[in-house]
């Protein structure tokens, strides 16, 4: 008895979504009943490195560059064939491949998806920098958007992504204005990841960190590469707009930079309901004594009324021996009355005696929470 064929259509589509698209298409030879099942699956994933060319032998004697172009041509042809044959809505679309600055084939794919206007999740992982076309901003039903190695040159209209709740940006090339406009066009955004290192954000604009924070009023989870904040001037105060923020993750926090601690304090002051804080510290040369003095003058001015009333978990990775790293952790311990867990992981390069000294200081630091468990490793 063929039990699989008797399953509800929704379950069969879920099973087919778990297969590579080429394997899902091969189920069409099982029987007449299965011939078009795969053309209705709502999730399509195309990964160039996993794409198998059935006529590989016919191009095996060509030079490597021509062979690569031949395979890419077949890859795009396969995508177009699937999109033309596909019936019903497409809710989830993934494309991972190597590209040049412009790629007409990807433009056509996004245009096709925008005309269907059923897409909820889009992932573009395009190694080599791809300039996003205007058709991207016609995907009004998107709830999840993942962009990697793309250039954002066009500015989206206001509230173009009215349903978007999750946005992940990795190595995105953009101006300050285009980035702020993109964030402002997502009024329901709750989860935001921005991982862009130096050189990917044009810092020639006149926007400040305050302008950036104002673009995320509903954010609950924020993961950011610390360097992005260095592209924006530091204001004297940040608006208390991150009232919904529960989880904050900052990578490569450059504690040696004289603006690091002041910015962190301003950011935490703007997120009064934060519950979990995770920092990954960058290893750089030690800061100057003059910068340390500047930071301490800032501390006396802004730390008196600073409390983290809801913070219950602190995690710091790659903790070093910078002058202000210890001060910052001691500050968090002293200003977090409901903190339950603090996990500090130190750099391996620090010698044993120094690790022991730092550990003793942290374990004996005054804590606002009577139940906090501090782990230093």
Query: Inter-axis angle of helices 104-116 and 64-85, to 10 degrees?
Result: 10
Per-residue confidence (pLDDT) for residue 352, from 0 to 100? 84
CA dihedral 296, 300, 303, 305 (to 10 degrees): -170
- Give the list of residues 6+ apart from residue 274 with CB closer than 8 angstroms, or none: 242, 245, 246, 247, 248, 268, 308, 310, 311
Tens of pLDDT along 16-35?
777 777 777 777 767 677 76
Per-residue confidence (pLDDT) for residue 142, from 0 to 100? 96
Tens of pLDDT along 156-167?
777 789 999 999
Phi, psi of 283 (to 5 degrees): -90, 110
Tens of pLDDT along 36-52?
677 878 889 999 888 77
In this prediction, residues 72-78 reach a mean pLDDT of: 87
Rounded (to 5) percent helix, strand, coil in the chain: 35, 20, 40
Closest CA to 258 of 282, 231, 233, 293: 293
Per-residue confidence (pLDDT) for residue 356, from 0 to 100? 87
Per-residue confidence (pLDDT) for residue 301, from 0 to 100? 53
Tens of pLDDT along 257-298?
777 787 888 889 889 999 999 999 886 545 444 544 444 555
Phi, psi of 269 (to 5 degrees): -65, -30
Cβ contact 246:220 at 8 Å: yes
180 vs 208: CA distance, rounded Å: 10
pTM: 0.84
Polymer length in residues for the chain = 377
Per-residue confidence (pLDDT) for residue 26, from 0 to 100? 77
202 vs 176: CA distance, rounded Å: 6
Closest CA to 258 of 225, 292, 224: 292
Tell the CATH superfamily of the 73-283+297-376 domain: Ribonuclease Inhibitor (3.80.10.10)
Phi, psi of 367 (to 5 degrees): -125, 135
Per-residue confidence (pLDDT) for residue 199, from 0 to 100? 52
3-state secondary structure of 280: strand
Q: Where are the domains of the chain?
A: 1-54, 73-283+297-376
Angle at the Cα of 341 from the Cα atoms of 362 and 253, rounded to 5 degrees: 65
110 vs 103: CA distance, rounded Å: 11
In this prediction, residues 325-339 reach a mean pLDDT of: 91
pLDDT band at 371 (very low <50, low <70, confident <90, very high): very high
In this prediction, residues 45-72 reach a mean pLDDT of: 64
- Residue 318 zone, left/alpha/beta (φ > 0; ψ -120 to 50; rest): left
CA distances to 317, 322, 353, 363, 373 from 358, in Å? 14, 11, 9, 9, 16
Of the chain, the percentage scoring pLDDT greater than 70 comes to 83
Where are any strands of DSSP class E within the chain?
43-47, 92-98, 121-131, 144-152, 166-170, 173-175, 191-195, 201-202, 221-225, 247-253, 276-281, 313-319, 341-346, 373-376
318 vs 131: CA distance, rounded Å: 35
Residue 212 reports pLDDT greater than 60: yes
273 vs 36: CA distance, rounded Å: 51
Tokens representing 164?
């978007």
């Amino acid at each position: 008895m063929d039990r699989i064929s008797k399953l509800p259509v929704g379950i069969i589509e879920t099973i087919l979504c778990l297969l590579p698209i080429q394997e899902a298409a091969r189920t069409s030879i099982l029987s007449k009943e299965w011939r078009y099942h795969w053309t209705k699956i709502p999730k399509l994933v195309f990964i160039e490195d996993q794409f198998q060319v059935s006529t590989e032998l016919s191009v095996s004697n060509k030079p490597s560059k021509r062979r690569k172009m031949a395979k890419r041509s077949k890859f795009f042809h396969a995508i177009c064939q699937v999109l033309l044959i596909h019936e019903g809505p497409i809710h989830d679309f993934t494309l991972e491949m190597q590209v040049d600055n412009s790629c007409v084939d990807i433009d056509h794919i996004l245009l096709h998806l925008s005309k269907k206007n059923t897409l909820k999740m889009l992932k573009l992982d395009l190694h080599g920098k791809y300039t996003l076309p205007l058709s991207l901003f016609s995907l009004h039903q998107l709830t999840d958007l993942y962009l990697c190695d793309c250039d954002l040159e066009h500015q989206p209209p206001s509230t173009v992504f009215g349903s978007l709740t999750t946005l992940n940006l990795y190595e995105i090339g953009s101006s300050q204005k285009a980035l702020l406009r993109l964030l402002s066009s997502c009024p329901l955004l709750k989860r935001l990841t921005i991982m862009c290192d130096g050189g990917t954000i044009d810092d020639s604009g006149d926007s400040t960190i305050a302008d950036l924070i104002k673009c995320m009023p509903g954010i609950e989870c924020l993961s950011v590469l610390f360097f992005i904040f260095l592209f924006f001037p530091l204001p004297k105060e940040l608006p208390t707009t991150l009232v919904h923020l529960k989880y904050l993750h900052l990578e490569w926090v450059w504690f040696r930079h004289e603006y690091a601690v002041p910015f962190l304090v301003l950011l935490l002051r703007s997120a009064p309901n934060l519950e979990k804080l995770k920092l990954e510290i960058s290893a750089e040369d030690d800061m100057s004594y003059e910068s340390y003095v500047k930071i301490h003058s800032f501390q006396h001015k802004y730390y008196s009324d600073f409390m983290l009333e809801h913070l219950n978990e602190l995690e710091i990775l790659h903790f070093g021996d910078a002058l202000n790293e210890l001060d910052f952790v001691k500050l968090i311990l002293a200003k977090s009355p409901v903190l339950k867990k603090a996990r500090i992981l130190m750099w391996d390069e620090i010698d044993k005696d120094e690790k022991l000294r730092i550990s003793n200081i942290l374990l004996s630091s005054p804590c606002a929470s009577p139940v906090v468990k501090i782990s230093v490793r």
